[in-house]
A and B are shown apart, each in its own frame.
Chain A
Amino acid sequence: MRLLVVEDNAELSQQLRNALSESGFAVDVAADGEEGLHLGRTEPYDAVVLDLGLPRLDGLSVLRRWRAADRAMPVILLTARDSWSEKVEGLNAGADDYLAKPFIMAELIARLNALIRRANGIAKSELEFGEVRLDTAARAVTRQGASVRLTALEYGMLAYLALNAGRPVSKTELTEHLYAQDFDRDSNTLEVIAGRLRRKLGDGLIETVRGQGYRMSPPR
């Protein structure tokens, strides 16, 4: 899952990048409103963490411009002020959730997971694919009830395919959603990851659709 973090405080921005990367997200960071606006307009993000007080262009304006340009990715707002007037303004400008500083990283990650799930039209946090269970809230995977350890990239690929289950996902699309912008992308790596997932979770889970990419059957 690829995220955009728009935050001008360098320290918080770094903390967010670290914590979110550790949780398996590919993270792009923008330090001001204009850079954030540009990235959000041009790159396919699964969700955005947007600070309200930004230099050059404030968060609400960035959000309004994205929505005006039909960018529909879920957006969670961060702000130092926790008043309902501000929440209402943010939510009615097109935000999907709202978190006041200081916040606990775990809460942000849980809310991001819930937003991404909701944006893909999935209500439950646990998805079951045969003997494999995927808990998107806890970011945990079990096979036949036993916990399976996955790397961040492995989990990212599994979760993206699971949230888009039923349709083939091209390697380009996967690459765009698994890697941050400054990452050296190599689509051959995807085959390696898919191979490792098949080895850990069973051959039948992820099928290769010739010329179209990878596909998972819808959960039951």
Chain B
Amino acid sequence: MNETPAPTIRVRGSLTRRLALLAALWVALGLGVTGWFVVRLAEEQIETAADGRMTSLLDAVVAAAALDPTRGPILARAVSEPEFDRPLSGHYWQMSAAGGLVATSRSLWDQRLPAPRPDAEPRNEDIIGPRDEPLRLLERHVQLEARFGAPPFQTVTIQVAVTRRDTDAEIGRLQKGLVLAFLGLGAGLVAVVALLVVWSLSPLRRVQEELVEVRAGTRQHVDLTVPSEVAPLVQEIEALIGQNRATVERARTHVGNLAHALKTPIAVLRNALEREEIPAARAQAATLERLVQHHLRRARAGALAGAAGEEAMPMAAAQSLATALRRLFSGRGISINVAGRDAARTRADPQDLTEMLGNLMENACKWAKSKVECRVVPAAGGMIRIEVEDDGPGLAEGQDAAALARGVRLDEAAPGSGLGLAIVADLAGLYGGTLSLNRGQRLGGMLAVLELPGRV
């Protein structure tokens, strides 16, 4: 017996890695986009607050500015912001009129803020100030009056600039904190997904461990409480184990039968050999061979009897057999004709159907003078009827029972083991079918009728 080679298991990827990777990708994308928005919002918030503080400073400078009827624009009183007095403190103001610079904060020292553009919109922008320091510049055009509501009027531009150092530092701290928080969150999420996957797959590992024990023989069944998704798999495995056990049991019974059947001819063969009776020994050897063949076939059919749901196509099988037999009997010029319903199917293993048809058709070819016909037609009661007819001598009255008996040959002239028709009858019986032998009406030789359950 050849053992079917174990199929190589193709492994591609790992469920755990696949899910963790997918989760990591999604988490990275989601947290990245969310994080970007959060940082932007916070930055805007900080900038707005800084701008608010600058507006108050500008208001204070504007409030201190006045128009002296004789001297023109002046700063009427001091602005109470100490940073404006400390040189190069990063807080500056500057007042300009149409004629040029009017006054600056002491902090500006010998430096100046960019000259205003009276015709343009007042500026609110980032500039580079003294000592290449980044500054935020806020500007306002103000109309000064000498007396309330009466001329002369004069327009001045008041600018306030404050260093960006503090704002930028605050934004930097915020970004760093948020990025760290989001990274931690992401790593945590991916870890949880990975753990979840490992935990979800653990029933499969337990099933595998039990299967190892079943194979080792220390355990009879896979006996586990498993989640509903894994239950069908365990059920199938259990069924497979059961089927396996039944097959082994059948095989064991079979080997027992075979051993019993072989013992007698072996004993006779031994005696014959001791007495050097060569013809008797040869006859026993032939008996042994027949027995072995018969049991091999029964074993195959028995193993298949449990398998359900297989269908075979008799027309295709008969046609391919006809091709083979034409070659085998090419010296005798026998014409083999196959006809019938192409769509017919029988409920039988294709190999067994070929075995049955092969025996019938070969038998017909052996006895035929020149013609063999095979017909496949539907029959009553959900059966498919396969007729094999030849134009040979046919059966004499009452010979059909003998022909179907195991190991009996009706004529020793044609080669064969004498098992062929008995095997066909055996196999047909296993599938719930029948074989009958008659005299053919069309060609006049033997007509074998094989009926098997099936459909058209």
Partners in one complex: yes
Residues of chain A having any CB pair with chain B under 8 Å: 82-85, 87-88, 90-92, 95-98, 102, 107, 114, 118, 123
Q: Which of A85, A114, A118 contacts B354 (CB 8 A)?
A: A85
B184 at the interface (CB under 8 A from A): no
Provide the residues of chain B in CB contact with A97, threshold 8 Å: 328
Q: A102-B289, A107-B415 are in contact. Are A84 and B327 (CB under 8 A)?
A: no
Q: Which residues of A contact B320 (CB under 8 A)?
A: 88, 92
Find chain B residues with CB under 8 A from A92 CB: 320, 323-324, 327
Docked complex: B328-348 residues within 8 A CB-CB of A = 328, 330-331
Indicate whether A91 sits within 8 Å of B355 (C-beta atoms), given known contacts A82-B293, A107-B415: no
List residues 291-347 of chain B with CB under 8 A from any CB of chain A: 293, 300, 320-321, 323-325, 327-328, 330-331
Q: Would you call B247 an interface residue if the criterion is a C-beta within 8 Å of the partner chain's C-beta atoms?
A: no
Given contacts A92-B320, A92-B323, A107-B415, contact A84 B328 (CB under 8 A): no
> Does the CB pair B355–A84 fall under 8 Å?
yes
- Residues of chain B within 8 A (CB-CB) of A102 are 289
**Max chain B C-beta neighbours (<10 A), residue from A83, A85, A98:** A85
**Which chain B residue has the least Cβ–Cβ distance from A96?**
B327
**CB of B129 within 8 Å of the partner chain:** no
- Set of chain A residues within 8 Å of B293, measured between Cβ atoms: 82
Judged by a CB distance under 8 angstroms, whether B107 is at the interface is no
Is B357 among interface residues, defined by CB-CB distance under 8 A? yes
Cβ B331 vs Cβ A114 within 8 A: yes
Residue of B nearest to A93 (CB): B324
Q: Is the interface of B mostly helix, strand, loop or mixed?
A: helix
Inter-chain pairs besides A84-B355, A91-B324, 14 sampled, C-beta below 8 Å:
A82-B293, A83-B351, A83-B355, A84-B358, A84-B362, A85-B350, A87-B358, A88-B320, A90-B324, A91-B328, A92-B320, A96-B330, A102-B289, A107-B415
Question: CB-nearest residue of chain B relative to A117?
Answer: B331
A85 near B355 with CB under 8 A, answer yes
Residue in A closest to B356 when the chains form the complex, CB atoms: A84
- Whether B359 sits at the interface, judged by CB under 8 Å, is yes
Within 8 Å CB of B327, what residues of A?
91-92, 95-96
Alpha-carbon distance A218/B348, docked complex (angstroms): 53
User: Could you say which of B300, B324, B354 has the most chain A C-beta atoms within 10 Å of its C-beta?
Assistant: B324
Known A-B contacts A84-B354, A84-B359, A88-B354; the reply to A118 vs B331 at CB < 8 A is yes
Chain A residues with CB below 8 A from B300, complex form: 83
Q: Are B354 and A123 in contact (CB under 8 A)?
A: no
The CA-CA distance from A98 to B328 in the complex, in Å, is 8
B358 in contact with A88 (CB, 8 Å):
yes
Determine whether the beta carbon of A84 is less than 8 Å from that of B321: yes
Residue of B whose beta carbon sits closest to that of A122: B331
Closest 9 pairs between A and B when the two form their complex, measured CB to CB: A84-B358, A91-B324, A88-B324, A85-B351, A84-B354, A85-B354, A118-B331, A84-B355, A91-B327
Query: B67 to nearest A CB, angstroms?
Result: 112
For the complex, what is the distance from the CA of A219 to the CA of B320, rounded to whole Å? Answer: 37
Contacts of B358 in A (CB 8 A): 84, 87-88
Question: Which A residues are CB-close (under 8 A) to B350?
Answer: 85
Which residues on A sit within 8 Å (CB–CB) of B321? Answer: 84, 88
